Chains A and B, each alone.
Chain A
């Protein structure tokens, strides 16, 4: 029992990070139909910038906030300089552009920062809580709590504010949204900023647990992309479920079956789900226009 609970704690912590990355994919996809493979670099930027600002003497909280702002600015720049000029390009072309962006950002990070591993202190110490024989770190609670706040905040933003509704309208039908007066360019910029900020928040929350370095982005982007597809691309709720599912599958496989094939298990489940539900668990059924 305590064993199962330990696996769940592990799965939920890791899954919450995947969910945040998947959410970043989803927000940008909704606004622009772009799958942004540089999403993982935002997580890296969040963690690494915080590390270096903190080392430069800024208090941790200030460093973290500044890091999120910087990441959001990078997100906006990415949209303005690379995505907007390539509007209406094909899916593959846009994928290559964002992969190029991720290589570029990684290249910049290895010069501006360095190639070493880094971490900063946990927010509330490292003394684990013991629950029914299983242990969880305070920082894991921060991660889960942080993810929950982000999701609830976004839910409020999308359902309660005019700007949020404009984003949703654009996601549903860009042309229609444009016709009723939504500034879709602004929506796109906002989405990139938002999704970069969410990635950076994930980076800040998780660095005390997983450490960070200039090249952590690739793996996170892969897992986040897979989680987003599992949940159904374009659905924020799907991103949450997909992320947690991938995290839990990995933890359970590592715990009960084989640790060397835990990543494989996640992808086997994704393949199986997609065969039954070709649009993921909560994805929109796509309509083919002739």
Chain B
């Protein structure tokens, strides 16, 4: 019963956050930052399944974001797909690739898994950079509009693009979080978490370890892909940076900083690391020093991530 309650708390917290935050927005710029938080939040929600539940690491998930983003850029151009279908196409493609690549890769452990996923991410970003005739090369390419705004205008609703994307990405994040939270309480979720605690113990009690790891990998790839698609369609522009190593690292950092074990923690991590660079602009040249320090300090003193560590701290006080 306890986890059921936690699920509802998480969803409620997200709904309140999404609905109330705009009251404090002085300008459309804040809607954009909010949207970026939700899109990053969606990607790390997927990583919660992989890192938090299944205990596997990936340093290459930006590769899947890249696939999702470029699906939206290339789908309408070369395959004649409407933008929304391109998003689905990208997600299916990412899931399929994750399924193919995941089978051999997930046999590796710890740092070996890290380097293999790293290699995968680099291969994707290299293809996107080098196949310039298809992808526009390192300078990137334009992406077709999703058409949401035009559709709304037809039924008589006029809304500015930043606000529309804020509400839209907020809804997608809610849906994504709801799915993962349901998964958590399902037999699959329990099997996954048993992996995290001890793979050997899980195997002994009859859990098909390889299958569940692969499931987690595919789920997280689809989330990263959809997040990439959303980002590309909001920016109406995409460049290979989205698939780069730094973006992969950023995704893992967001997940772990907030707390990889819970959706709320990971989304908090995503929000903080999205907003931080905007706040740090006041430090000008010292931006990187402060960012590096914050990452180190949080991880040293709040090892399980911000949200779980703080929750524990307050929990202890109450008792």
Q: How far is the CB of B13 from chain A (nearest CB, A)?
A: 24
A-side contacts of B110, CB under 8 Å = 91, 286
Q: In the complex, what distance in Å separates the CA atom of A106 from the CA atom of B290?
A: 11
Assess the B285–A261 pair: CB atoms within 8 A: no
The chain A residue sitting closest to B127, CB to CB, is A264
- Judged by DSSP, the binding face of A is helix
Assess the B116–A86 pair: CB atoms within 8 A: no
B57 an interface residue at 8 Å Cβ cutoff?
Answer: yes
Given the known interface contacts A82-B300, A271-B116, A290-B200, the answer about A105 and B292 at a Cβ–Cβ threshold of 8 Å is: yes
Q: In the complex, what distance in Å separates the CA atom of A202 from the CA atom of B253?
A: 29
B107 an interface residue at 8 Å Cβ cutoff?
Answer: yes
Interface residues of A in 177-223 (CB under 8 A from B): 218, 222
8 Å CB contact of A100 from B107, B260, B292 = B292
Assess the A261–B292 pair: CB atoms within 8 A: no
B-side contacts of A100, CB under 8 Å = 291-296, 299
Mark A215-242 against chain B: 1 for CB-CB distance below 8 A, else 0. 0001000100110010001000000000
Q: In the complex, what distance in Å separates the CA atom of A92 from the CA atom of B292?
A: 16
B275 an interface residue at 8 Å Cβ cutoff?
Answer: no
Q: How far is the CB of A18 from chain B (nearest CB, A)?
A: 14
Assess the B57–A278 pair: CB atoms within 8 A: no
B118 an interface residue at 8 Å Cβ cutoff?
Answer: yes
B-side contacts of A2, CB under 8 Å = none
Assess the A110–B51 pair: CB atoms within 8 A: no
A-side contacts of B105, CB under 8 Å = 271
8 Å CB contact of B109 from A105, A263, A278 = A278
Assess the A271–B296 pair: CB atoms within 8 A: no
Q: How far is the CB of A67 from chain B (nearest CB, A)?
A: 21
8 Å CB contact of A99 from B51, B120, B295, B303 = B295
Mark B121-132 against chain A: 1 for CB-CB distance below 8 A, else 0. 011001100100
A145 an interface residue at 8 Å Cβ cutoff?
Answer: no
8 Å CB contact of A97 from B107, B127, B198, B300 = B300
Assess the A226–B253 pair: CB atoms within 8 A: no
Mark A259-274 against chain B: 1 for CB-CB distance below 8 A, else 0. 0110110011011001
Q: How far is the CB of A95 from chain B (nearest CB, A)?
A: 7
A-side contacts of B245, CB under 8 Å = 218, 222
B96 an interface residue at 8 Å Cβ cutoff?
Answer: no
B-side contacts of A268, CB under 8 Å = 119, 123
Could you say which interface size class chain A belongs to?
A: 35 or more
Q: How far is the CB of A49 from chain B (nearest CB, A)?
A: 18
Assess the A96–B299 pair: CB atoms within 8 A: yes
8 Å CB contact of B288 from A82, A91, A104, A267 = A104
A-side contacts of B242, CB under 8 Å = none
Assess the B115–A270 pair: CB atoms within 8 A: yes
Assess the A91–B292 pair: CB atoms within 8 A: no
Assess the B256–A96 pair: CB atoms within 8 A: yes
B114 an interface residue at 8 Å Cβ cutoff?
Answer: yes
Assess the B198–A290 pair: CB atoms within 8 A: yes
Q: In the complex, what distance in Å separates the CA atom of A225 from the CA atom of B115?
A: 8
Assess the B252–A96 pair: CB atoms within 8 A: yes
B29 an interface residue at 8 Å Cβ cutoff?
Answer: no
8 Å CB contact of A263 from B104, B122, B246 = B122
A-side contacts of B253, CB under 8 Å = 96, 99
Assess the B119–A270 pair: CB atoms within 8 A: yes
B-side contacts of A92, CB under 8 Å = 51, 57, 252, 256, 260
B108 an interface residue at 8 Å Cβ cutoff?
Answer: yes
A116 an interface residue at 8 Å Cβ cutoff?
Answer: no
Q: In the complex, what distance in Å separates the CA atom of A286 from the CA atom of B199?
A: 14
A124 an interface residue at 8 Å Cβ cutoff?
Answer: no
Q: How far is the CB of B203 from chain A (nearest CB, A)?
A: 10
Q: In the complex, what distance in Å separates the CA atom of A262 from the CA atom of B209?
A: 35
The chain B residue sitting closest to A98, CB to CB, is B296
Q: In the complex, what distance in Å separates the CA atom of A261 from the CA atom of B130?
A: 8
B257 an interface residue at 8 Å Cβ cutoff?
Answer: yes
Q: How far is the CB of B77 from chain A (nearest CB, A)?
A: 23
Assess the A286–B299 pair: CB atoms within 8 A: no
Q: How far is the CB of B256 from chain A (nearest CB, A)?
A: 5
Assess the A104–B260 pair: CB atoms within 8 A: no
B201 an interface residue at 8 Å Cβ cutoff?
Answer: yes
Q: In the complex, what distance in Å separates the CA atom of A290 from the CA atom of B197?
A: 10
B97 an interface residue at 8 Å Cβ cutoff?
Answer: no
The chain B residue sitting closest to A85, CB to CB, is B300
Q: How far is the CB of B246 from chain A (nearest CB, A)?
A: 8
Given the known interface contacts A85-B300, A99-B295, A107-B292, the answer about A274 and B260 at a Cβ–Cβ threshold of 8 Å is: no
Assess the B296–A104 pair: CB atoms within 8 A: yes
Closest 3 CB pairs of A and B: A104-B292, A107-B288, A100-B295
Instruction: List 20 A-B pairs, Cβ < 8 Å.
Output: A85-B300, A92-B51, A97-B295, A99-B295, A100-B293, A100-B299, A103-B292, A104-B292, A104-B296, A107-B287, A110-B285, A111-B286, A218-B245, A226-B119, A233-B112, A263-B122, A264-B126, A267-B123, A278-B107, A288-B199
State the A residues within 8 Å of B (CB). 35, 82, 85-86, 89-93, 95-97, 99-108, 110-111, 218, 222, 225-226, 229, 233, 260-261, 263-264, 267-268, 270-271, 274-275, 278-280, 286, 288, 290
Extra contacts, 11 of them, besides A270-B115, A274-B108 (Cβ < 8 A), are A89-B300, A92-B256, A95-B252, A96-B295, A104-B291, A104-B292, A108-B289, A218-B246, A270-B116, A271-B119, A275-B104
